[in-house]
A and B are shown apart, each in its own frame.
Chain A
Amino acid sequence: MAAVMLAPAASRLLMSGNEAVARAVWEAGTKVAAGYPGTPATEMLEQLSTYPDMYTEWSVNEKVSLEVAIGASMMGSRSFSAMKHVGLNVASDALMTLTLTGVEGGLVIAVADDVGMSSSQNEQDSRFWGRFAHVPMLEPADSQEAYDMTRYAYELSEEFQVPVILRLTSRICHVKGLVTVGERIERPAKGFNKNAERWVMVPGHAKRRIPLMLQREQELKRLSDRSPLNMLEPGTDRRVGFITSGPAYMHVREAFPDAPVLKLGLSHPWPLEKVAALAEMADTLVVVEEVEPILETELKAAGFAVHGKDFLPRIGELAPEVVKPAVERLLRKEAAPEPQSALAPPPLFPRPPTLCASCPHMGVYYTLSQLKNLTISGDIGCYTLGAGHPWNSLDSTICMGASMGIALGMDKGRGEQDRNKRIVAVIGDSTFMHMGMQGLLDLTWNRGNVTILLLDNGTVGMTGGQNTPANGRDIHGQGAPRIDFPRLVEALGVKKERIHVLDPYQLPVLFKALRDETKIDDVSVIITDRPCVLIEEFKPFRPYVVEEDKCTGCGNCVEVGCPAIHVTRREKVVKPSGKEVELAFTRIDSVACTGCGLCVQPCAPEAIVHFAPAGSVISIQPA
């Protein structure tokens, strides 16, 4: 990270799209940058926090991060806010009025779409926000463009006094390519100009801003035709002309190197005259865009005969091997069958992501899996993995913070058939502070009957361990006020006697607390307090081993779900009752084991013991 930061102007570096955006934000003289972690956007703020002469923060959620950027812009400073696609849903309330006030210091919002859904609860196309909010949208196709367009976004933002959305996808954020970087230009704040008609959006003021917003969009439309970011490449094979943007451009260029292509860098508003020029030079027009047929629909409405999602996939990422056969079939006028790969992937077991060895969530999910009659409302984070094997202990996941409100709705909406169910909500510390606090307040105020597990592991775990108010460190790792969860939930209306702070490695304590609290018709909060194993607060313990001669093959330890526990052999036996059972004899991978002791507790024959004393040779056994 430091190497990128210190790299002098004109250095040519291998950078991810996120790193390139961060460098350009810094070079643009940006004073304030804020964001909330989320794949694939996380590294933009992480990188920015290493640059000097600017303020960066992890905000508690994306809406706050955009508001922080807006405030800085009002002061006449350049500002930046970064988030993943679902984050902009949260921030959109601010965006939809920001478009009326416009900006003073350049304001750029980077939104990263998880196309293909590597780590998200849905697949969304953020290009809609450009249309919805009437703001310009830039779409880079690689790291160099991510850098160039970010620099330009600030010029555009200040020229038109408009927030600019930089739309990225996973294949921009996480692809590394070569980038030539430049120098930082200092831009002193212009100062705040008190102007209620501009900044106080009451109806009378806002009404006067709407025509200005629409006029701005018309001017941007004309700019779009002049902009070098919208590049018409004539080509020689003119059977098909392509209109494309973002990573899809690279796929089109690779699949059809000689075709005319209109590459949209400023993709909203799109350039009418350049589309018309492409239509003149090509026999057939094809729009290649990932996810939704947005451009295709708009071009059709403007009277252009274009193909697009009639033969290209609407779900997931595109690639040259997807685009090429589809277009070739279109040219041959064939009914398009699904492409068959000559090289089928071999049939193989799946390897889903799972909780780490010693993960403090594991004890919680093991305990939940052992309790009957629960309906469990889950949330967004590593603990969503509790829906998987062997725990199968999550019944819903929708969006950040939703576990609270959904649990209350389950309680209020249940019928006779669910009368005996105990409703549990599971949420992590960062998600709770992001959007869960309001839900808990709603729960207590409206007298819900829910037991809440607040899993405080002191970090945003799923995105790699960012700091939060729960660990008392800011984005730079410096000391910051640390939130006190018991006092916070009490202030939100939970009775003091219904708040418990527990060690999630102590299974009997956890089991008893959960069993007792779910029986009480009130809001209870059980806070677990072990750190995520990926952060510096976690200190590994002595690893364990299975004593082979004592293991009876009961398989209880396997049910804990720890990735360090392996089955060495299986044996079918007939019990005295006549029932056939399969025994699973186990070993513990002592390199992976960090000694949390969760598996020790359910082990019937007490065969799991501490590893041999220090100084002995660690051998790596094959599975």
Chain B
Amino acid sequence: MNFVTTNILVCGIGGQGVMTATEILSEAAIAEGHDVKKTEVAGMSQRGGVVTSHLRFGKKVLSPQIAPGTADVLLGFEAAEALRWSHYLKPGAMALVNDARMVPPVVELGLFKYPDDPIGDMRSRGVKTVSFDAATIAHDLGDLRLGNTVMLGAIADQLPFSADVLLACVVKRFARKGEQVVEMNRKAFAAGRAAAQAATPATA
């Protein structure tokens, strides 16, 4: 009963779309015929708290939680949150990180410090880190809400199936909203993918 599973950890803060992104990743894994388990703890996450979403897929998935040191890839929606969960990655595994800095009130009040360079800290911890600015990419495409699809584009080349499978699930999700919205999301997906590819050789 030993099964090989793929473990994807998605992290960010409440309201960023972490759970939706993981849901779309789950749909892609199901489309590829995998058994899937997806879990998150988000009791108070709407209130600006930390959100992590664990996705495990393979022939048969037992425990839904990813253990520290066993994630195959980390998708970080916020720089410090990616750093916070970086110890969940397997040694040498890759993190794809939106370099946005979302500073909570406890830091603004002067009670805690936000790290100067969380991405640099991840690299010095030995994490292969690919970072990009998802918000600016989404903004340049004309709608900040595309950030989620930019993130999915970024992870598309790190999955054990083709990027087209994931893109098809993104398209399916937005199909009801009309061709224009679908087209915007296609562009966002491609832009995220290109951003991650461009950042990979230089920084990883």
Contacts and interface: CB of A to CB of B under 8 A. Distances in A.
Chain A binding surface SS class: loop
A23 interface: no
B84 A348 contact: yes
A354 B104 contact: yes
B111 interface: yes
A40 B40 CA distance: 11
Given A170-B41, A171-B39, A534 B46 contact: yes
Contacts of B40: 174
Interface string A336-378: 0000011111101111111110000000000000000000000
A346 B100 contact: no
B112 A176 contact: no
Contacts of A464: 46
Interface in A523-571: 534, 558-559, 561-563, 565-567, 570
Nearest to B64: A175
Given A171-B64, A353-B48, A177 B108 contact: no
Contact of B110 (A114, A253, A584): A584
A394 interface: no
B165 to A, nearest CB: 15
A518 B70 CA distance: 56
B47 A390 contact: no
Given A114-B43, A319-B67, A354-B105, A620 B144 contact: yes
Nearest to A39: B43
Contact of B67 (A39, A116, A321): A321
Given A565-B108, A622-B101, A250 B64 contact: yes
A341 B68 contact: yes
A130 B118 CA distance: 49
A320 B67 contact: yes
Contact of B30 (A14, A258, A341, A623): A14
A248 to B, nearest CB: 10
A253 B36 CA distance: 16
B27 A390 contact: no
A258 B1 CA distance: 7
Contacts of A355: 47
Contacts of B115: 348
Contacts of B102: 623
Given A14-B38, A40-B43, A343-B87, A321 B106 contact: no
Q: Which of A176, A566, A570 has the most CB of B within 10 A?
A: A176
Contacts of A176: 23, 26, 36-39
Nearest to B78: A351
A130 B74 CA distance: 41
B59 interface: no
A562 B104 CA distance: 9
| Interface-centre pick from B14, B62, B114 (highest chain A CB count, 10 A) | B62
A1 to B, nearest CB: 13
Nearest to B81: A351
B35 interface: yes
Top 3 A-B residue pairs of the complex, sorted by shortest distance between their CB atoms: A119-B43, A353-B47, A349-B112
Given A319-B65, A389-B111, 13 more contacts: A174-B39, A175-B38, A176-B36, A176-B39, A178-B30, A178-B35, A251-B62, A349-B113, A382-B47, A561-B105, A586-B108, A619-B139, A620-B139
